[in-house]
């Protein structure tokens, strides 16, 4: 069956049916230079969306990704989002680059070991506070500023949380706490922003084969980590990106407030 493309719609030559395709959206993906963020940026661009690739201190990787994104109208923004002034600037720059803002993907995060029983208080406190600042406060700042760009026309926000929000992270309690807080933040603001046509949903991956975790997977406990899932492996960044893309779609608008587990049945919650 032949298919001919007409801009943002496609025409089926045999049936004469015309299939609507969502018009190009302006999408900001934080922490997009690698891993889940990179896969998400590629997924949105492949669908015809315009993407702002955010990084904190990886300009080469961000520019490399920018060159790989299909389509036009993409750009790069940078900065430490735990600084509220930087968070506001990043949203403003992304909206200027893309001609507005329709989707925010809060993916940027850190995973800093801070075992309560193995560290002196000051380094433990600093790691804890940095984790909370990047993983919880920064997404909150971005939602505040992004929501104001979406008022009057609607939009979608997707937060990237973690399985650790539910099962605990004893070696880095701030990580588990920050992701649990992100879940609650998203659900609270889903209620607040729904009257304005803005949805907020969350993906909660388990282990993912990203740069952040690949070294851990290569260590002796790597096989044990993979056996946590009955699939016998960890997720790919593309699998998590597919969930993000769906939750940002108009079809998922009524899933606002939802938390979607992407952990290969490695942790089941009721």
Write b or e for each residue in 114-153: b if 16 or more Cβ atoms lie within 10 A of its Cβ, otherwise e. Answer: beeeeeeeeebeebbeebbbbbbbbbbbbbebbbebbeee
Give the three-state DSSP class for 144.
helix
Tell me the torsion sign for CA atoms 42, 48, 54, 59.
positive
Residue positions annotated with a catalytic role: 162, 175, 179
DSSP state of 269: -
User: DSSP letter string over 50-117?
Assistant: EEEEEESS-HHHHHHHHHH--SS--EEEE--TTSHHHHHHHHHHHHHHHTS-SEEEE---------TT
């Amino acid at each position: 069956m032949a298919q001919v493309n007409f801009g943002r719609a496609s025409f089926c030559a045999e049936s004469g049916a015309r299939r609507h395709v969502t018009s190009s959206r302006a999408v900001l993906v934080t922490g997009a230079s690698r891993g889940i963020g990179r896969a998400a940026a590629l997924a949105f661009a492949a669908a015809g969306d315009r993407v702002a690739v955010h990084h904190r201190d990886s300009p080469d990787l961000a520019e490399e990704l920018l060159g790989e994104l299909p389509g036009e109208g993409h750009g790069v923004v940078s900065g430490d989002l735990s600084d509220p002034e930087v968070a506001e600037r990043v949203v403003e720059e992304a909206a200027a680059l893309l001609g507005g803002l329709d989707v925010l993907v809060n993916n940027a995060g850190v995973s800093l070991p801070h075992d309560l029983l193995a560290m002196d208080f000051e380094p433990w406190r600093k790691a804890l506070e940095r984790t909370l600042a990047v993983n919880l406060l920064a997404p909150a700042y971005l939602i505040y500023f992004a929501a104001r760009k979406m008022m009057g026309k609607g939009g979608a926000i997707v937060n990237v949380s973690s399985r650790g929000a539910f099962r605990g992270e004893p070696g880095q309690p701030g990580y588990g706490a920050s992701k649990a807080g992100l879940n609650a933040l998203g659900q609270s603001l889903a209620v607040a922003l729904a009257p304005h046509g803005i949805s907020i949903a969350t993906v909660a991956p388990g282990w993912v084969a990203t740069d952040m975790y690949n070294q851990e997977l290569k260590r002796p406990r790597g096989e044990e980590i993979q056996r946590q899932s009955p699939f016998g492996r960890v997720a790919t960044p593309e699998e998590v990106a597919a969930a993000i893309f769906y939750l940002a779609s108009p079809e998922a608008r009524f899933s606002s407030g939802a938390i979607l587990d992407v952990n290969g049945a490695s942790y089941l919650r009721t």
